[in-house]
Chain A
Amino acid sequence: MLNPLRSEGEAFRLLVYVAVVIFAIVAIVLVARAVF
């Protein structure tokens, strides 16, 4: 399990995951707003 407070490497990986997930959600919401 990813523990961002165990090492910097894991914190960096968490940053990448969070950025990807959040930007994906934002993209879906913006597309949905434009369509509906």
Chain B
Amino acid sequence: MEAASVTDSEHHGPPEAHRSSRVEPQMLGMLLFIISEVMIFGAFFTAYFFIRVVNSDPWPAHGTELPKIVAGFNTAILLSSSLTLHWALTSVKNGNRTGLKAGMLATFFLGATFLFVQVNEYIHVGFAPHDSAQGSIFYGLTGLHGAHVTIGLILLGIVTVRAFRGHYSAEEHRGVEVPGIYWHFVDIMWVVVYSTVYLL
């Protein structure tokens, strides 16, 4: 039986055990993680679909109002954080460590600001998760996203500290790239959440 073809130029013969011959392990890990998280978000969006489309519940519920403008500013903050992250990565790919550090710091603080504003919104929104189906879905979806932002901030915090310790270079910056992909995924999910929950 012929050995499976391998695209890795350093290895000949069948792929090594427990490794993909096409995708680096770190990227594969993040790929599988993001796919599983998309499924979780899908479940929450399905619940939202049921109460709003199938059940035709009024949205927002009577007597409540969703803070579209504040959330809009928060959306701009999160989109900006993706921009600064992209700047950080572009900098390190060009060997610019100062740009990397500045970009990562800006990304971290923008992300933390987003989370702070979200928590403040929960305090002032005027309804609780147990008040109505709307409450459950609103807090469920935005809270699930907030949990993802928290995970992302932990990753970004580690990357920022390591960036200041000089761990990354133009040749080796996978430790910035992989969390960067996760952060952009978090941002994409927020665009979908904001559009469907607040705007539509």
A→B interface (CB under 8 Å):
4-9, 11-12, 14-15, 18-19, 22-23, 25-26, 29-30
Contact = CB atoms under 8 A, between A and B. Distances in A.
B164 interface: no
The 3 A-B pairs with the shortest beta carbon distances in the complex, nearest first, are A8-B180, A11-B184, A12-B86
Given A5-B34, A8-B180, A30 B82 contact: no
Interface in B77-101: 79, 82, 85-86, 89-90
Given A4-B181, A14-B184, A15-B184, A9 B86 contact: yes
Contacts of A25: 195
8 contacts: A6-B27, A7-B181, A8-B85, A11-B181, A19-B79, A19-B191, A23-B191, A23-B195
A5 B27 contact: yes
A22 B27 contact: no
A6 B177 CA distance: 10
A26 B199 contact: yes
B31 interface: yes
Nearest to B32: A5
Interface string B97-113: 00000000000000000
A27 B83 CA distance: 23
A4 B184 contact: yes
Contacts of B177: 7-8
A5 B192 contact: no
Contact of B82 (A5, A15, A22): A15
B188 interface: yes
Given A4-B181, A7-B177, A12 B82 contact: yes
A25 B181 CA distance: 25
B195 A22 contact: yes
B185 interface: yes
B27 to A, nearest CB: 6
Given A15-B188, A22-B195, A9 B79 contact: no
Nearest to A27: B199
A12 B34 contact: no
